[in-house]
Structure 1
Amino acid sequence: MDGAAVPSQPYSPQAEINWDRLDKTKFYAIGAGLFTSVTVGLYPISVVKTRLQVTIRQGSNPSAISIFRNILKADGVSGLYRGFGTVVTGAVPGRIIFLTTLETTKIGALTITEKLNLPEPTQAAIANGVAGMISSLAAQSVFVPLDVVSQRLMVQGTAGAIKYRGGFDAARKIIKTDGIRGLYRGFGMSVLTYSPTSAVWWASYGSSQRVIWRSLGYSSKDNMQMPSQGQIILVQALGGFFAGAVASCVTTPLDTIKTRLQVLDTESKPSVKRTIKRLMDEDGWKGFYRGIGPRFFSMSAWGTSMILAYEYLKRICAKHEHD
């Protein structure tokens, strides 16, 4: 994000809000509430996407709309929030790890890329991409068990799905059947999915912002005109939308394999090879893009909402000169 942008760029007021200028206690406390609110709004899309990815095709091709209606018909609005409690409970420590690693890593990455003779958008893409990848790797120890448990709860009501009484019951049964490693089913695929996704997202966000600002005439270092608050918000929103769209298109096949690996074949030893073969047998190559619609919308909407919330969070948590 531009919170750690190159300080010499006059077009970015956010450039001054580096990690060392943030009130960390305030940052984590307010951030937990902000991101939980965003998750509440977008969680149903994740449930629909997960159902689409694990549904075994038997002649018909269910759509996102039909799955959404079926969930409402069978379970009401609560069905769209299966596994939400598990996600919210574990998301706070996961996000603390992610955001701390992201901001601290980005500072070092930007320092290195500044020394390279590369175009400004390329420098931003590399620095943000590296920071996003490393922060995702650091957070997977928390996020993978959350994924395994929440996704098992999300698919309840579908054919062959195991019944659970909640997140703790799901975790207990998974551990009883497969041990602790059962909570880390698909860990390798999660790393291969989320790390590239995070890298692509942050790289796309960092570079797109530079391009957008340049198109608005703020790229020249001798242009000391400061953009309005409305312009800043608009550019951040467009950057977040673009980043989410690019990341969803590039990494959906990996996400589909990961989700099925974590949810299906619960009574047999899962493997990536078997999951890929099953997808190919059911739906051919297009099976790897199951749920692309909800995932595209979710990541684009999440990207826009999350980045606006995050940049706002950094502004209100910035220490003043006299602090």
Structure 2
Amino acid sequence: MEDKRNIQIIEWEHLDKKKFYVFGVCMTMMIRVSVYPFTLIRTRLQVQKGKSLYNGTFDAFVKILRAEGAAGLYRGFLVNTFTLISGQCYVTTYELTRKYFSQYTSSNAVKSLLAGGSASLVAQSITVPIDVISQHLMMQRKGETMGRFRVQTHEGKRFPVFGQTRDIIAQIFKADGLRGFYRGYVASLLTYIPNSAVWWPFYHFYAEQLSSLTPKDCPHLLLQAISGPMAAATASTLTNPMDVIRARVQVEGKSSIVLTFKQLVAEEGPWGLMKGLSARIISATPSTIVIVVGYETLKKLSLRPELVDSRHW
């Protein structure tokens, strides 16, 4: 009889929660520092009309670096770090939802889909206002802006970072009131809930398929590190059209998802819905490897002491 090997999954009840959260914040910060430039590039590519400024991911990277320096690739980064809170809420919701649905189903795919969607719903409710502010900061180019709002200058110099943030917040509030900070909320839910709900089942699916094709002594962590980017590429491709619409709604101040979709297709054709996909996948590949390796390692490091010797990797 064939000895079938399965990827071992560490469940929520196996973890030391204090270790889990401390290690998690450190890991998330390192990931954000490494992938933020591609997040900024993706957003600019999605918002620009046609190829008015950048011809693609690499072209955008070079032009931003030349015109704005390395700091230009990190516009809005400090504001964006506040999403660390939503990241911890995401992980907690995901794990608790998996635990809850374990009472009703043993299917890993079903638990992952439901937990991933629920976690994204909670996280986006916290993240959207932070995203709206950080995206407007991303749009600030040297001497001009790609968005609705422009950071004011004072005696030829830009405000310090937090001054720019305060200025953008004031402009959003003046133009749209409190609703302005949740502009694109529905579009974000329609983007990230499916993305999260799709990513987790595909991640586990690819891991199990790779496990069945590789030798028994192949480390589980290696298989998971390969499965993560594969799942991210799949989810990114499926949800990119909605991500483009979300970015335009939030940055350009549009109020209708349907009208934004129609305008985009009319102006740039169906391929306009795929703008920024390469930047999204490029940023997702290394970040997902780090996330998966970090997350799985984090869970192992956070195992309750009495369970450490019972696990085999």
* TM-score exceeds 0.5: yes
Q: Which residue of 2 aligns with 1:221?
A: none
CA drift at 1:11? 3.6
Aligned-partner Cα distance in 2 for 1:107–1:10: 23
CA distance in 1, matches of 2:214, 2:185: 43
Offset of residue 111 of structure 1: 4.0
Shift in CA distance, 217/68, structure 1 to aligned 2, threshold 3 Å: closer
Q: After superposition, what is the alpha-carbon deviation per residue over 1:204-244, rounded to whole angstroms, capped at 9, x for unaligned? A: 111111222222366xxxxxxxx56xx11211101101111
**Identity between Structure 1 and Structure 2 (%):** 35
- Seen in structure 2, the aligned counterparts of structure 1 residues 307 and 322 have a Cα distance that, compared at 3 Å, is closer
SS across alignment from 1:113: coil
Residues of 1 paired with 2:166 and 2:304: CA distance?
40
Counterpart code for 1:141: S
1:180–1:197 Cα change, 3 Å: same
Q: Distance in 1 between matches of 2:229 and 2:237?
A: 12
- Corresponding residue of 1:290: 275
**Residue equivalent to 1:87:** 80
SS of the aligned residue for 2:306 comes to coil
For the Cα contact (< 8 Å) 1:241–1:303, is it kept in 2? yes
Q: Is the 8 A contact 1:244 1:302 kept in 2?
A: no
| Cα gap change, 1:217 to 1:108, in 2 (>3 Å) | farther
Does residue 51 of the first structure (1) align with residue 27 of the second (2)? no
**AA aligned opposite 2:296:** E
Number of residues paired by the alignment?
291
Equivalent residues of 1:31, 1:313 under 8 A apart: yes
**Contact 2:34 / 2:287 at 8 angstroms: preserved in 1?**
no
TM-score (norm 2): 0.87
SS at match of 2:78: helix
What are the equivalent positions in structure 2 for 1:156-235 lying under 5 Å apart?
156-157=140-141, 160-161=146-147, 162-164=149-151, 165-216=163-214, 227=217, 231-235=219-223
Distance in 1 between residues matched to 2:265 and 2:54, nearest whole Å:
15
Query: Aligned pair 1:130/2:114, yes or no?
Result: yes
Cα pair 2:54 2:60 within 8 Å, conserved: no
Deviations for 1:45-67, whole angstroms, at most 9, x for unmatched residues? 11111110001137786222221
Work out which of the residue numbers 75, 98, 102 in structure 2 matches 1:106: 98
Tell me how far apart the structure 1 counterparts of residues 174 and 16 of structure 2 sit (CA, whole Å): 42
Q: When the two structures are superposed, what TM-score results if normalisation uses the length of structure 1?
A: 0.84
Q: Residues 139-165 of structure 1: CA distance to partner in whole angstroms, max 9, x if unpaired? A: 111111111111111111165532234
Q: CA deviation at 1:73?
A: 1.6
What root-mean-square deviation, in Å, do the aligned CA atoms of Structure 1 and Structure 2 show? 2.1
Task: Report the alpha carbon displacement of residue 279 of structure 1 after superposing the two structures with TM.
Answer: 1.1
Aligned counterpart in structure 2 of residue 146 of structure 1, from 99, 105, 130: 130
Deviations 1:62-82 (A, max 9, x none): 222221122112210000011
Q: Deviations over 1:148-190 (max 9, x none)?
A: 1111111111655322343333223212221111010010111
Q: How does 1:252-263 map to 2 (within 5 A)?
A: 252-263=240-251
Equivalent in the alignment of 2:300 = 315
